[in-house]
């Protein structure tokens, strides 16, 4: 922990079925109510029971943007966790474990082993009670008052009845008192922030962003790591007046969303790469029919089933090439949960104005992570811009649904309005919606329609903020990232500054439209440029080259399923400054 501020990290390890989420939720609630910033990452396997689960929780009284590098406290719920992670614990750390069933290894110098006699403390056959005993011990070690833990336990278990609450409070007290009598607490007690915060996941933020943006129809087929959006929508649909449908596959999902959008409803769906692959023909249909709709791709490690519970930035070119043909679509990759929340409304306004599909790219790191947020920053009433949408009948002298306007944006009438009859089909058409393939193929009309659709972006792109260079203009190194790499790059920049390396940061959020001229101008002022990507082939770098012709001096890439940690980027920058490589891939030790 750095002097002058509170920055503490703990990890809970075990196997699926051991109730790892419960102590994490209990502690997270305590932390955010104290006003501490929270960042969690859960590394887990795609099996119902067994496998290795490893939840990391970082808290601080300052802003934090990654799960960090260090560990101060480790809770081992099984022998496997002890064997895998004990070597990470250094001077001043604490390792808690069930002394009845887990054999400790050789701890590093200064690491305090804290065995808990769970059987003696609980007199219970419920093996999950060891978690609550451990939470009590952790509370003492961190300097928490027991009454705060008792309140959190009561809230967590109140739905299960008074007997369950009493049992859990009792065993937590036993763990707290045993730790007080036998272990040494951390010298720096837990801190507090200026005001209580809230906690949400990235998927919660995306779903809430949809609700705030006026979404009234949501469809999905469950696919991790996007399923959390469906869960939030289903839980809140009745209160918010949102129709939620779980379809039989992603083909149905996409077409249902387009159908709802066609009749004037703001509609969206979320999936991961495999489901998005099934949606792509429908995305092209939305482009041809000029129906505004939002498709969310929460990336995981592919291809095919890949590693379904791990993170990656491997679907950029999938989004760029979604569906056949040459057409306009927005593609945006927010940097964190709060940015994701705000971006949903922004994207809906853009697709409504441009009457085209929009693709929202998240990943497991953002979507399944849990983060603190200041509730005052959550604007549930963003600006809503439905574009040129006709909602009432009026005398007309002929309605041209696809009128060739100066800016390419045609007047869009809600389906069923008297006097606004038109054809909506996936065939190419003329201004009056007559299908070119039915009547004849007119090359001049075809060209006119393609150019009309393309012109829409020339106008609207001016309203999207270009990327900005963050940090000192004359920095030694410029790190370029997109989407979820934002936070870990920011943390790495602070660490590099401590080693005398000045670094600035060019984060890219809007992929399409891409602000090529602004990026070229920024690059012209940078000394050493390094791109950070969570994929093997450098997908964003390839796209950058195609749009600008620019090259960079080096790369830092990771594609093992786990997200970057700050030291991975620090090491990569230092190796490249030393001239040892121009493509750094972090090596992460795995204990088998």
pLDDT digits (tens, 9 = 90+) for 84-138: 999 999 999 999 999 999 999 888 899 999 999 999 998 865 666 889 999 999 9
Last residue of a domain, one of 118, 151, 182: 182
Q: What is the largest CA-CA distance in the chain?
A: 88
Same domain? For 339 and 442 the reply is no
In a domain, 471, yes or no: no
pLDDT above 70: residue 589: no
Same domain? For 370 and 485 the reply is no
Q: What is the DSSP string of 58-85?
A: EEESS---S--S--SEEEESSHHHHHHH
Mean pLDDT over 30-51 rounds to 93
Q: What is the dihedral of CA 220, 224, 226, 230, to 10 degrees?
A: 50
**pLDDT confidence of residue 461:** 82
Q: What is the pLDDT of residues 311-351, one digit of tens each?
A: 999 999 999 999 999 999 999 999 999 999 999 999 999 99
Q: What is the total count of domains within the chain? A: 4
Per DSSP, the three-state class of 108 is coil
Average pLDDT, the chain: 94
Same domain? For 373 and 418 the reply is no
pLDDT above 60: residue 592: no
Same domain? For 32 and 154 the reply is yes
**Could you tell me the residue range of the domain that residue 429 belongs to?**
389-462
C-beta of residue 85 within 8 angstroms of C-beta of residue 23: no
Give the residue ranges of DSSP H helices in 226-272.
227-240, 250-262
Same domain? For 134 and 167 the reply is yes
**pLDDT confidence of residue 50:** 84
d(CA 420, CA 426): 19
C-beta of residue 197 within 8 angstroms of C-beta of residue 39: no
Query: The domain that contains 60 carries what CATH number?
Result: 3.40.920.10
Last residue of a domain, one of 347, 377, 407: 377
Same domain? For 483 and 570 the reply is yes
Query: The domain that contains 578 carries what CATH number?
Result: 3.40.50.920
Mean pLDDT over 179-206 rounds to 97
In a domain, 319, yes or no: yes
Same domain? For 398 and 534 the reply is no
Mean pLDDT over 458-485 rounds to 95
**pLDDT confidence of residue 590:** 56
**pLDDT confidence of residue 331:** 98
In a domain, 481, yes or no: yes
Query: CA nearest 136: which of 171, 102, 160, 167?
Result: 171
**pLDDT confidence of residue 438:** 66
**pLDDT confidence of residue 437:** 77
In a domain, 136, yes or no: yes
Cis peptide before 513 (omega within 30 of 0): yes
């Amino acid at each position: 922990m750095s002097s002058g501020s509170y920055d503490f990290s703990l990890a809970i390890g075990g196997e699926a079925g051991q109730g790892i989420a419960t102590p994490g939720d209990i502690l997270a609630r305590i932390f955010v109510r104290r006003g501490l910033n929270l960042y969690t990452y859960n590394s887990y396997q795609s099996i119902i029971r067994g496998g290795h689960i490893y939840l990391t929780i970082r808290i601080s009284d300052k802003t934090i943007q990654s799960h960090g590098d260090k560990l101060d406290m480790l809770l081992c719920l099984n022998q496997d966790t002890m064997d895998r992670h004990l070597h990470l614990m250094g001077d001043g750390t604490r390792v808690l474990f069930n002394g009845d069933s887990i054999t400790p290894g050789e701890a590093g110098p200064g690491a305090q082993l804290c065995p808990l006699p769970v059987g003696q403390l609980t007199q219970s056959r419920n093996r999950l009670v060891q978690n609550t005993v451990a939470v009590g011990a952790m509370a003492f070690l961190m300097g928490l008052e027991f009454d705060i833990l008792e309140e959190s336990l009561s809230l967590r278990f109140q739905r299960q009845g008074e007997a369950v609450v009493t049992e859990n409070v009792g065993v937590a007290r036993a763990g707290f008192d045993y730790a007080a009598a036998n272990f040494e607490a951390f010298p720096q007690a837990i801190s507090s922030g200026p005001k209580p915060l809230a906690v949400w996941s990235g998927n919660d933020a995306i779903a809430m962003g949809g609700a705030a943006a006026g979404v009234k129809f949501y469809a999905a087929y469950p696919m991790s790591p996007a399923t959390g959006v469906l869960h939030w929508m289903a839980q809140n649909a009745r209160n918010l007046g949102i129709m939620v449908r779980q379809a039989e596959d992603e083909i149905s999902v996409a077409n249902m969303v387009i159908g709802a959008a066609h009749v004037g409803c703001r509609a969206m769906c979320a999936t991961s790469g495999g489901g998005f692959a099934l949606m792509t023909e429908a995305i092209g249909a939305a482009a041809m029919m000029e129906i505004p709709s939002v498709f969310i791709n929460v990336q995981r490690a592919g291809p095919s089933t890949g590693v379904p519970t791990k993170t990656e930035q491997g679907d950029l070119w999938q989004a760029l090439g979604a569906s056949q043909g040459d057409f306009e679509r927005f593609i945006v990759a927010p940097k964190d949960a709060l940015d994701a929340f705000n971006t949903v409304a922004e994207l809906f306004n853009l697709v409504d104005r441009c009457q085209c599909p929009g693709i929202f790219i998240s990943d497991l790191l953002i979507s399944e992570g849990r983060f603190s947020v200041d509730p005052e920053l959550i604007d549930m009433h963003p600006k809503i811009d439905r574009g040129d949408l006709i909602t009432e009948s009026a005398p007309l002298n002929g309605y041209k649904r696809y009128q060739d306007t100066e800016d390419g944006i045609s007047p869009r009438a809600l389906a069923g309005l008297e006097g606004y009859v038109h054809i909506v089909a996936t065939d190419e058409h003329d201004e009056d919606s007559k299908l070119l393939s039915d009547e004849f193929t007119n090359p001049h009309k075809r060209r006119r329609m393609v150019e009309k659709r393309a012109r829409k972006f020339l106008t609207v792109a001016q309203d999207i903020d270009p990327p900005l260079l963050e940090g000192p203009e004359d920095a030694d190194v410029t790190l370029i990232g997109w989407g979820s790499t934002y936070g870990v790059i920011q943390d790495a920049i602070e660490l590099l500054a401590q080693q005398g390396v000045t670094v600035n940061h060019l984060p890219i959020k809007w992929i399409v439209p891409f602000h090529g001229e602004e990026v070229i101008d920024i690059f012209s002022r940078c000394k050493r440029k390094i791109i950070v990507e969570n994929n093997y082939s450098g997908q964003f770098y390839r796209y950058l080259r195609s749009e600008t012709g620019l090259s960079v001096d080096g790369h830092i890439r990771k594609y093992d399923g786990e997200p970057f940690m700050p030291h991975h980027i620090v090491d990569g920058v230092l190796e490249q400054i030393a001239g040892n490589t121009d493509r750094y891939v972090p090596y992460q030790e795995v204990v088998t």
